Structure formats: C-alpha cells, structure tokens
A = this chain, B = another copy of it.
C-alpha cells in the first residue's frame, strides 16, 4: 500500500513542522468510521448527506476554531457511497475530494469504504477489461454528437476471432454514460466474475439515458423513453454491431438498467423481444403502461426476465406490482426482493447476481 506509506511520510513531514497539513476529506478510519471536513470559516450552517441516510435527511456538521467543519459517521459497511455537503442551504460536492459522482446536474462526491477482503466491485489482481468511450453523431438526436461507453472483457483485443454477446446497460435519472463505471464499478465487477468463472464473457454498452435534456419541461421529459428507444436501436446498436466483434441475434443480446434505466430496459426489451432475449431491471421506475407490451412475449419468449428492488426503496411498490402482474399473466420471471434502498450499493450487488445468468 504505497499510498499509505507516502501519506505517513507526508504527515511526518507535517509533524516536523515543514509544511501545513493538507485538509483531508473524506478520511476513512481503520474501523470504517469516516470523517468529512470542509473549510468554510464564514459559513453559518453546514450539513451533510450520505446515501446510506434516509433521503432528504441532513446531519449537522460542527465548526472548529480553525473554520473547519467536520462530522464523523459510521462505522459503515464496505461499499462506495455518494455524499454531499449543504453549505448555508446550497448543496455541493466535497470541494477537495477528487472522486466525483458526475451527474446530468448537481454532481456529488464518492466515498469508498474498503472491507478487510476485496469486494465484488474492487480492483482485484485479475485480468482487467477496458472501457472505451465512443463518439457518434446521432441521427435520431438531430446530429448531436454523443458519447457512449463500452466495456470489453480481458482478452478482447487479442482474441481477434472471438465474437461476444452484448449487454446494453442503462443508468438512472440524473446520471451519465459513465455512471455504471465511475460509481458502479461495473468493469471491476465483470472482471471479478469472469476471473471466478461465473460469467460468460460479454461486451457491455452504456449509452447516456437522457435523450431529451434533463432540465426540459415535464411534458418533454415524458417523451424521453420513446426518443431514447430510437436512439439506442437506430444509432447505438448499429454502431456497436459494426465496430465490435459481437453476436447479432436476440439470443446474444440482453438489456438492463437501474431506476429510470430499469424502466427503459423493461419498455424497450418488452417492445422488442425479437431483438433482446433477456431483460434486467434494478430498482426500476416500472412504467404504468408496461402491461401493453406483455403480449409481445407470445411471439418471442424471453430467456430471462429478472428484476430486483430493495424494501426501503421509494420505487419498491412498482416492482411488487410488476411481480404480481407477471404472476397473474403466468409470465416466467424472477423478482429479487432484497434489503436496501435506491443506491449503487444494491445496484452493484444486482449486477453481480444478474450478469452471471446471461447467455447460458
């Protein structure tokens, strides 16, 4: 752990009076408690929110004589969390933490709490896939140049004859094309599952889910899934199938997403079971009209229809309603009813459960 050694040397230098200590935030202690700090001597009120707390709640931070506000929380379970400060009413990312949770608006910060053993989402000493950012002028989006991210498994560059199945993997509302990698660590999850012999090697395509601007009016937003469906099927999918060595039949195409992206994967997947044979939906914003599309499964049965939601999720009822509907319609599916809320902590776990079921 060179980082630890170097920081210790740095702290030593500081203790010897050679330079002022740089402010640390977040500081993860060995017992998995975490201290957050922000230097705001003139602020009247500083609060804290972490995504393990109830949505909308704020914990007060305390001000020291040097103008540094701090709060120690935990111990926290090993995971990667999202947090923000509220400074005199304004919600901001931690100004000195380089690990940002990028968003379509209102970015926040990431906190990694390691466990004693490497977790599913950690960079382990296994072969790593890579993640390629592709730039495409979108016909559907009137010529706008958009980027989408593509995970290719270890060995992809070398095994030049092999073709791979594809998972289209969607993020949630107010996230970005990189969300599943930067906050979800999907690449490391897939690397680890592969190394453990639990995964069929696959290419994973991650487009940007806001086909209409995130800040558009509600009635424009209502058209997002329909526009996104065309963007994915008419722009992204043909690009992927022409550039990457992927298999091009429904048996080797899956579609999944979280939250808004779960609603998108259910809608697009159920509207087009001729193109996708497996659907995953994590803590999904299940659309109200989903029943309309179930008839399509008479023509094209799915190999896998898998969804999951945490009991503390504000969208939980959408998943239990879907479960009841599918059961009533005698449509084969798996509903994983788990602990947890609307956070990447459960979405990493869901990807780890869902991906190994694909392309069997």
Spell out A's residues near B (CB within 8 Å).
1-3, 6-7, 9-10, 12-14, 18-19, 22, 24, 38-45, 87-93, 95-96, 98, 100, 102-107, 123, 125, 128-137, 141-145, 157-158, 160, 176, 181, 187-188, 191, 212-213, 215-220, 243-244
Q: Which of the residues B102, B125, B160 comes within 8 Å of A160, measured between beta carbons?
A: B160
Contacts A90-B87, A98-B102; is A130 near B135 (CB within 8 Å)?
A: yes
| A40 partner residues in chain B, CB cutoff 8 A | 87-90
Contacts A92-B92, A144-B2, A176-B98; is A9 near B220 (CB within 8 Å)?
A: yes
Q: Which residue of B lies closest to A174 (CB)?
A: B98
Give me 8 other A-B pairs in contact (C-beta within 8 A), A93-B95, A125-B143 excluded: A3-B213, A10-B215, A13-B218, A19-B218, A40-B87, A87-B87, A98-B107, A130-B134
Tell me if A's interface is mostly helix, strand, loop or mixed: loop
Inter-chain contact B130/A132, CB cutoff 8 Å: yes
Q: How far is the CB of A290 from chain B (nearest CB, A)?
A: 26
In whole angstroms, how far apart are the Cα atoms of A144 and B38 in the complex? Answer: 28
Give the 4 A-B residue pairs with the shortest CB-CB distance, closest first. Answer: A13-B217, A42-B88, A123-B145, A128-B135
Inter-chain contact A142/B2, CB cutoff 8 Å: yes
Inter-chain contact B106/A217, CB cutoff 8 Å: no
Q: Which residue of B lies closest to A122 (CB)?
A: B145
Inter-chain contact B88/A98, CB cutoff 8 Å: no
Q: Which of the residues B1, B42, B133, B176 comes within 8 Å of A45, measured between beta carbons?
A: B42
Inter-chain contact B132/A131, CB cutoff 8 Å: yes
| A2 partner residues in chain B, CB cutoff 8 A | 141-142, 144
Can you offer 25 A-B residue contacts whose CB atoms are under 8 A?
A1-B142, A2-B142, A6-B212, A6-B213, A6-B220, A7-B215, A13-B217, A14-B217, A22-B215, A38-B90, A40-B87, A40-B88, A42-B44, A43-B88, A87-B92, A92-B92, A92-B93, A93-B93, A93-B95, A96-B106, A98-B176, A123-B137, A129-B135, A132-B132, A160-B160
